[in-house]
Structure 1
Amino acid sequence: MISTTNDNLRMAMLLCFKWFFPFLLSIGSHTIVSGESIKIINWNVLYGFNHHQSVKEGSDWIITKQPDVVAFQELNGIAEEQLEHYSAAWNHPYAITHKETGFPVGLTSREPIQVIERNQEGGHHGYLHCRTYGMHFFVVHFWPGVFFEIDRVMVKVRKLLEEKQKVVILGDFNGCSRKDTDFLKTNTTLRKIDFEFVDRVEAAGLIDLVHKHDPSAKVSCPSPITIPKWTATMQELKMKQYRIDFIFTDSSLAENSISGSICLDKEIDTISDHYPVIVELNR
């Protein structure tokens, strides 16, 4: 009788070990992953990668950068399933868009994406609020001079900041930063300048990571792809160039950030009128 009891006890212990050992390994694995960095790209891809003419070139460029998360604006004509198909090429099995008509924004990630809100109410573009890598991502594409959308976003952002959540706001702001004022004056810009979008984000304490790490980076658009349709000459192009694409994070993420830059690779000149913004953070 005692032998049978001992055998049963040993069997129970083996079963516990069988089921719980993988769980313990996964905890250790997660601890290792949480210490790694995360690379994020934001990119306005001009009517769905130059009207779908440069999808492969855009995908190939993303592959070379090996990002963990990519946010997009102007995914025109690209449904969520199609974006998921494209993103598989850069090893992102998860892809989300906020709508399928007009000017969609989207997000792809190596890790699962929790969709919190696909906002399309009243705005020309709308925005996407998702969570991945333990961070809240607001993918935005603001309409020039229309501020109710940024106000909606910031109400949610302030609440998350009060809760000590990790927050990233990224996208095409269609507005400038006051930190670029000297460049805009020197460049004799032909653009109408609007600081309001960035002002409202920075008023909540969020940090512009490109300015933090590369304050000399002042141009995110347009690229030469706009010649001759929207821009006559290279001289005119330079007078139109400014920075309207941003990645902002809460102060805690910013403090632990590694880098922030605007990628001016020549390949971009035939893919989009916007240059991608790239940041790297410690998780």
Structure 2
Amino acid sequence: MNVLKIICNICLLIVLFFSARAQGRFKVLDYNVLTGFQKNPAQAAIFVEWVKGIDPDMVAMQELSTFTQDSLERLARRYGHAYAVLLTKERAAPMGITSKYPIVNVQKVTDNMHHGYICARVKHYHVVVTHLSPFSYEKCKEEISNILAWSSTLPKKEKLMIMGDLNAFAATDSLLYQEKGYKRRYGVIRQLLEAGFTDAFAFKKQVKEFSYPTKKYENGVKQYGRLDYIFLNGALKKDCLDIRIVRDQVTDQLSDHYPLLMELSL
């Protein structure tokens, strides 16, 4: 009996250990989902089951075409998120945030933006989700300046992440672009770096990877790129445990972009 009791106690400690570890992490998923999962309910259902397996605390999405606030809330509840916020603008691609936790202090900005951006707070994190102009380098620079102007109003001790499809290129990937013969301009990402933000993927990973296009959509695409980013301010950088571009059988097919998954220590 004593041996059995010891084994039971060890098993309990293991469960508590892994439970504590899980509770000590905050998982963020960022995903351009291609015109609202290609406007296909079957694709959305695949996404729901896939997200359940990843179990993120917050999801940021771009290109939520055809979605309304109500339909985004209903989608979010299917994978366990009770809260959702959607930004829409006429003749632009919607974007949204879903979360296990309340999304508060929400601001939706569309003025002077091609698509717009959402500012919000989730737990103790300030969050900006955006989708920069796909058509103009100069417009992208203007848009990121708008976002940085807003971010400068926050106290430096506040933890802030800026994420989304930035339609921009990082100089840290320049060797890859040069190898493929691509000509790139790096000014948009340089603005974020000069403002004190850290490119989380470049910070945590030695390997260079592209987030666009996916396997399904690579035929006919002439130029590959890392277009999807999560940037962290100085107060949040130290909390970044890991970040990766998620490549699997689902993400190979679901969108033309691969998602980013980041884990933060709480």
Q: Same fold (TM over 0.5)?
A: yes
Match for 1:209: what amino acid? Answer: A
Deviations 1:213-263, CA, capped at 9 Å, x for gaps: 123142101113325xxx43xxxx4x5221010001112321121101111
Q: Which runs of 4+ in 1 moved over 6 A?
A: 32-35
> Is the 8 Å Cα contact of residues 27 and 262 (structure 2) preserved in structure 1?
yes
The separation in 1 between residues aligned to 2:21 and 2:127, in whole angstroms, is: 20
Which residue of structure 1 lines up, in the alignment, with residue 38 of structure 2?
A: 50
Mapped pair 1:251 → 2:234 = yes
What's the secondary structure of 1:39's corresponding residue?
A: strand
Mapped pair 1:180 → 2:168 = no
Cα 1:163–1:207 shift into 2, 3 Å: closer
> Is the 8 Å Cα contact of residues 117 and 129 (structure 1) preserved in structure 2?
yes
Deviations 1:149-194, CA, capped at 9 Å, x for gaps: 211110111221x4421100000010011100011111334xx523
Which residue of structure 1 lines up, in the alignment, with residue 98 of structure 2?
A: 108
Of 146, 153, 168, the residue aligned with 1:159 is 153
Of 192, 210, 222, the residue aligned with 1:201 is 192
Cα 1:201–1:115 shift into 2, 3 Å: same
Which residue of structure 2 lines up, in the alignment, with residue 77 of structure 1?
A: 66
The two structures have a TM-score, normalised by structure 1, of 0.80
Which residue of structure 2 lines up, in the alignment, with residue 40 of structure 1?
A: 28
Cα 1:46–1:241 shift into 2, 3 Å: same
The two structures have a TM-score, normalised by structure 2, of 0.85
Mapped pair 1:278 → 2:266 = no
What's the secondary structure of 1:222's corresponding residue?
A: coil
The separation in 2 between residues aligned to 1:51 and 1:193, in whole angstroms, is: 32
Mapped pair 1:59 → 2:48 = yes
Cα 1:59–1:35 shift into 2, 3 Å: closer
> Is the 8 Å Cα contact of residues 35 and 282 (structure 1) preserved in structure 2?
no
Which residue of structure 1 lines up, in the alignment, with residue 252 of structure 2?
A: 269
State the Cα distance separating 1:71 from its structure 2 match: 0.3
The 5-angstrom pairing of residues 90-101 of structure 1 reads 90-99=79-88, 101=90
State the Cα distance separating 1:265 from its structure 2 match: 1.3
> Is the 8 Å Cα contact of residues 156 and 235 (structure 2) preserved in structure 1?
no
Identical residues among aligned pairs (%): 27
What's the secondary structure of 1:240's corresponding residue?
A: coil
The separation in 2 between residues aligned to 1:136 and 1:158, in whole angstroms, is: 12
